Amino acid sequence: MFEAAEVGNKLDKATFKREAPGVRAALLAVQRRIAGSELAPVILISGAEGAGKGETVGLLHAWMDARGLETHVLWDETDEERERPEYWRYWRTLPPRGKIGIFFGSWYTRPIVDRVFGRIDDATFERTMRRVRDFERMLTLEGYPILKYWLHLSKKAERKRIKELRADPRMKWRLSRDAKKFFKHYDDFRRVSEGCVRLTSTGFAPWTVVEATNDAYRNLTVTTSVLHALEEALDEVAERARAKTRKARLPKAKKANILRRLDLTQSLSGKAYDTRLATAQAGVGRLARKLRKAERSLILVLEGPDAGGKGGAIRRVTAAMNPYLYRVIGIAAPTDEEAAHPYLWRFWRHLPRRGRVTIYDRSWYGRVLVERIEGFARPDEWRRAFTEINDFEQQLAEAGTLTLKFWLAISAKEQLRRFKDRQGTPYKQYKITADDWRNRAKWNAYEAAACDMIERTSTDVAPWVLVEADDKKWARVKVLETIHEHLRAAL
């Protein structure tokens, strides 16, 4: 595959000097268009040691407006990154819409190095590449075009380049500390890298392999390719804007479904409630302190109809734990910062470190519930979200995070009673809004969407727990006892 980048492509200085100003001006023009768009292109610069990756990143900064660029060097992981799922470090560095992200080192770096040095086998490498493809597909669909450049040197050219750079005190810093060690494994790196490019060069995120022996050729090839790719991405956005989007029909609830089968009459007396709640809280508090030693973390997701009792259940959970251990994240309409990123970004950024607990009062399931019903997400967006969410939760499990999801189910009659109670109680009035009444009018549609969600996203690694919540005491105890049970099994 890389033979095509060893044919001796060169560009003389005069030609480069003549063509470079036009490319530079065009890049600035296209960057201004991106600044006013919904796009956030991501440029990956990868390749051989000494191939000029750093120089290429520097050139992009020199030719474009640096204020619209966000560059990240992703080499060694920090302690904070090691305590979360691998992709956390990539999600948190995604640029906001209107800016361009440049990654020097990326989600390809570690898998390639690990395979070369035998830390993973071929099957694991291929699974990792499948996850990369899924990640890049999602980003592309979310308005994040992926531009990937592999700067290639033949073995002879790389040996010569490393020797030249090491001999020049002014240039020696351009070599990574592992350059010499990596070159000893040149053939292995070439084999694994070719496999990587083959497995992940897709229609939505293709690789561009660039012969990097001649600096002028490399520089003009990369910048011209970036220019054309950005122009194409902008044209595609304009085309989609002109296309009409068919509004999804509201789903209809089936007469018999998993929510309607729940026995909402279940309840607890005051004495039984006090006893069982205290026992469950003591167990949760004790086991939560063991998460750190076990190198685990815990995520709790609480969803359900408005006035379903999520806040009350959360307060009983947090009362069981040291405040140092947990964070409660309340999810409402996205802020400007959150709306400028893919929808999962604001959830990835709050993932807990080892030994910690994050509690989401509503969650990423808004994409397949309120965004689906209210038309904030297009049909193609919420339909693919089921798969994206399952993959997200699978990554959490692989990183040692225990994820429990609770649906607090109440009847329409009980919701109406609680709404009226909130309206008539001064200190509860802040809990009731016009949106609550508007959502209530779509009760059947929300119920149908919830059933779809539970059916398609209740997995072994992140199960849904259905909680009969007409009686608040019963609901709170069931939530605490379920958490206790799962922590005991996991630890």
Tokens representing residue 45 in the block: 């610069």
pLDDT of amino acid 243: 59
What is the rounded CA–CA span in Å between residue 353 and residue 84?
A: 6
Q: Encoding tokens for residue 192?
A: 């694994």
C-alpha atoms less than 13 angstroms from C-alpha of 389 in its C-beta half-sphere: 25
Q: Give the CATH number for residue 485.
A: 3.40.50.300
Q: Is 256 inside a domain boundary?
A: no
Q: Which segments in the chain show pLDDT lower than 70?
A: 172-174, 242-248
H or E segment and range at residue 45:
strand 42-47
Q: 252 in a domain, yes or no?
A: no
Kindly report the backbone phi and psi dihedral angles of residue 152, in degrees, each rounded to the nearest multiple of 5, phi listed first.
-110, 140
Q: Is residue 97 part of a domain?
A: yes
Whether 230 and 353 share a structural domain: no
Q: What's the confidence (pLDDT) of residue 164?
A: 83
The answer to the question of residue 262 being in a domain is no
Q: Which of 194, 223, 242 is the last residue of a domain?
A: 242
Token pair 């290639």: residue: 152
Q: Report the amino acid identity of residue 416.
A: L
At 400, phi and psi to the nearest 5?
90, 15
Q: Which two tokens stand for residue 359?
A: 């509690």
Residues 336 and 480 in one domain: yes
In SS3 terms, 424-453 reads as HCHHHHHHCCHHHHHHHCCHHHHHHHHHHH
- Tell me the two tokens of residue 225: 């390719």
The separation between the first and the last C-alpha atoms of the chain, rounded to the nearest angstrom, is: 48
User: Edge-to-edge, what's the strand order for the sheet holding 207-211?
Assistant: 69-73, 100-104, 42-47, 146-152, 207-211
Tokens representing residue 305 in the block: 């109809």
Question: In the prediction, which pLDDT does 408 show?
Answer: 98
Establish if 91 belongs to a structural domain: yes
Residues 286 and 330 in one domain: yes
Alpha carbon distances (Å) from 189 to 106, 109, 153: 16, 11, 12
Structural domain for 347, as ranges: 270-490
At 244 the pLDDT is: 53
> Taking Cα atoms as reference points, which of 162, 194, 184, 177 lies closest to residue 47?
194
Could you tell me if 209 and 276 lie in one domain? no
Q: Which residue has the tokens 């105890």?
A: 477
Residue 48 falls within a domain, yes or no? yes
Residues 199, 348 within the same domain: no
46 lies in the same domain as 114? yes
The residue written with tokens 């959830």 in the block is 347
Instruction: Measure the CA–CA gap between 479 and 467, rounded to whole angstroms.
Output: 7
Q: What is the pLDDT of residue 338?
A: 96
DSSP H helix total and E strand total for the chain: 20, 10
Tell me, yes or no, whether 212 and 115 share the same domain: yes
Assigned domain for 381 exists: yes
Q: Are residues 233 and 85 in the same domain?
A: yes
Q: Do 280 and 228 share a domain, yes or no?
A: no
Co-location of 388 and 280 in the same domain: yes
Same domain (yes/no): 350, 386: yes
Residue where a domain stops, chosen among 224, 242, 260:
242
Nearest to 41 by CA among 109, 96, 115: 96
Q: Is residue 217 part of a domain?
A: yes
- Please give the pLDDT value at position 245: 55
Show which of 242, 261, 294 is a domain's final residue: 242
| Residue 33, SS3 per DSSP | helix
Q: In this predicted structure, what is the pLDDT of residue 441? A: 93
Say how far apart CA 343 and CA 321 lie, in whole Å.
30
Q: Considering its fold, how many domains does the chain have in total?
A: 2
> Based on the domain organization, do 68 and 212 belong to the same domain?
yes
Give the H/E segment covering residue 388. Answer: helix 379-398
Contact 361, 328 (CB under 8 A): yes
Please, is 312 exposed, middle or buried when counting C-beta atoms within 10 Å of its C-beta (0-12, 13-18, 19+)?
Answer: middle
